Amino acid sequence: MANTFEKIPTIKYEGAKTTNPLAFRFYDPERMVMGKPMREHLPFAMAWWHNLCAAGTDMFGRDTADKSFGEQPGTMEHAKAKVDTAFAFMQKLGIRYFCFHDVDLVPEAEDICETNRRLDEISDYILEKMEGTDIRCLWGTANMFSNPRYMNGAGSTNEADVFCFAAAQVKKALDLTVKLGGRGYVFWGGREGYETLLNTDVKFEQENIARLMHMAVDYGRSIGFEGDFYIEPKPKEPMKHQYDFDAATAIGFLRQYGLDKDFKMNIEANHATLAGHTFQHELRVSAMNGMLGSIDANQGDLLLGWDTDEFPFDVYDATMCMLEVLRAGGLTGGFNFDAKNRRPSRTPEDMFYGYILGMDTMALGLLKAAELIEDGRIDEFVKERYASFNEGIGAKIRSGETSLEELADYAQKLGAPKMPGSGRQEYLESIVNSVLFG
Ligand code: XLS
Ligand code: NI
Ligand code: NI
């Protein structure tokens, strides 16, 4: 195997002032934050697809990076070289999890039986590599959007045979996830949506997606999968409209079809902004419904309307994210860097710079979020803001001991209602700035 990372040292924490490009500035795995070491707050994962498969091809041009790792792409030797590279990469960075799609691991064959045989072979190889390390799978998934057969969706396809292929892929991907110790299993509805309502029966398609998910839960539990299933909401791309538009929509869907006990959300920062929300909004909606499971840590570009999958760099966003995560008591999943280097960042060193940036940004976000919580002024303000519901008529409303008639009566006696107190937004924003930069 070619040793792609021969010149790269193990990446260590050196502090914010270091000028060493191959060092962490903020991610200090053993540092205690609110009673837990950083590495426990931040279960980072490497995404097989972006890191080991994507080499820069976009709609207008071909690969810029060399991800052959010394072997011929499209062969099992290459698949194994990717495993070797993955483990060398994760070990140098101290990353303990990886995420994969079935077809990230091996070249897909014409015949699904042959693809599955290749998956057995590669997962045996991955298991061997895992031995003696603490590296595990965070989550697995099936790619049900690249193969042309899925042009009209997988669970939402109009073609029953295609639905069966999707079922076969989910079954195999679940087998692999369990075999590799996965904490979760993801459904990202890549083509589960529509281009036009003129040819689409939305109700029928959604019912079929739910049927596929129910079968996945039944099968997963029958082979001993104890983790969470996740929906990863995204409003569009590749389809014009995708059914899992955002967290609120996905949670409603899960409840409607009785899937909410087995599923949680995997929230991706870039998908949140595509849906017209902030990352923080999607995390809050998931958390308040008890469904914040895992995070795809990346960021988009608000000037571009697509999923740019950049490594997170925005410390303000990372801080707001970690505030939600800390308040929710942590994740059952982890932080998967569903992120890729920019096309001109094409060398092996760049793969490291991307992850160092991402890990440092999330670590800084964690430190700042912990400071905001310990500072307490923001939480205290929010508590006070609703204080009128703690006693008197407010308390009665909360406990459901009143009626529209009683409240109308109360209001009529009041004369003019008391004006709500100031929202103090600018003051609160100043607190955030002083914690971030003070
Ligand atoms: C695409 C999604 C995808 C999922 C896994 O936009 O983010 O990469 O995370 O299928
Ligand atoms: Ni995405
Ligand atoms: Ni993602």
pLDDT in tens, 133-155: 999 999 999 999 999 999 999 99
Cβ 268 under 6 angstroms from ligand 1: yes
* Domains identified in the chain, total number: 2
Task: Say what percent of the chain tops pLDDT 90.
Answer: 98
- Same domain flag for 73 and 220: yes
The CA–CA distances, whole Å, from 396 to 388, 400, 402, 408, 413 equal 11, 6, 6, 14, 17
In this predicted structure, the answer to whether residue 120 has a pLDDT above a threshold of 60 is: yes
Cβ 232 under 6 angstroms from ligand 1: yes
Residue 43, domain member (yes or no)? yes
Residue 5 CA to residue 9 CA, distance in Å, equals: 8
What is the per-residue pLDDT across 342-370, written as a single tens digit (0 to 9) for each?
999 999 999 999 999 999 999 999 999 99
Q: Give the containing element (helix H, strand E) for 295.
A: strand 292-296
- Number of helices and strands in the chain (H, E): 16, 14
What is the per-residue pLDDT across 173-225, written as a single tens digit (0 to 9) for each?
999 999 999 999 999 999 999 999 999 999 999 999 999 999 999 999 999 99
In this predicted structure, the answer to whether residue 2 has a pLDDT above a threshold of 80 is: no
Please, which pLDDT band fits residue 15 given cuts at 50, 70 and 90?
A: very high
* pLDDT (mean) for 397-412: 97
- Same domain flag for 295 and 432: no
Looking at residue 172, its amino acid is K
Calculated CA dihedral for residues 388, 393, 394, 399, nearest 10 degrees: 150
DSSP 8-state class, residue 144:
-
The pLDDT, as a whole number, for residue 1 is 53
- Same domain flag for 383 and 336: no
Residue 22, domain member (yes or no)? yes
Measured from the CA of 237, which atom of ligand 1 is nearest? 6
pTM of the model: 0.98
Please, which pLDDT band fits residue 28 given cuts at 50, 70 and 90?
A: very high
Alpha helices in 42-97 (DSSP H): 48, 76-93
* pLDDT (mean) for 374-379: 98
- Same domain flag for 29 and 146: yes
Nearest CA to ligand 1 atom 6: 307
Tell me if 323 sits within 8 A of 362, measured CB to CB.
no
Residue 265, strand partner residues: 231, 292
The token duo for 50 is 């972006």
The pLDDT, as a whole number, for residue 274 is 98
Q: Is 84 a catalytic residue?
A: no
Residue 392, domain member (yes or no)? yes
Catalytic residue, from 50, 101, 271, 281: name it: 101
Q: What is the mean pLDDT of the chain?
A: 98
Residue 3, domain member (yes or no)? no
* pLDDT (mean) for 248-268: 98
Residue 268, strand partner residues: 296
The pLDDT, as a whole number, for residue 3 is 87
In this predicted structure, the answer to whether residue 158 has a pLDDT above a threshold of 60 is: yes
What is the per-residue pLDDT across 36-91, written as a single tens digit (0 to 9) for each?
999 999 999 999 999 999 999 999 999 999 999 999 999 999 999 999 999 999 99
DSSP 8-state class, residue 136:
E
- Same domain flag for 279 and 408: no
Residue 63, domain member (yes or no)? yes
- Same domain flag for 291 and 183: yes
- Same domain flag for 417 and 340: no
Please, which pLDDT band fits residue 417 given cuts at 50, 70 and 90?
A: confident
156: number of Cβ within 10 Å: 27
Nearest CA to ligand 1 atom 3: 188
Q: Is 101 a catalytic residue?
A: yes
Residue 237 CA to residue 220 CA, distance in Å, equals: 28
Residue 5, domain member (yes or no)? no
* pLDDT (mean) for 168-172: 99
Catalytic residue, from 28, 104, 262, 338: name it: 104
Residue 6, domain member (yes or no)? no
Per the structure, the complete domain to which residue 248 belongs is given by 12-374
The pLDDT, as a whole number, for residue 110 is 97
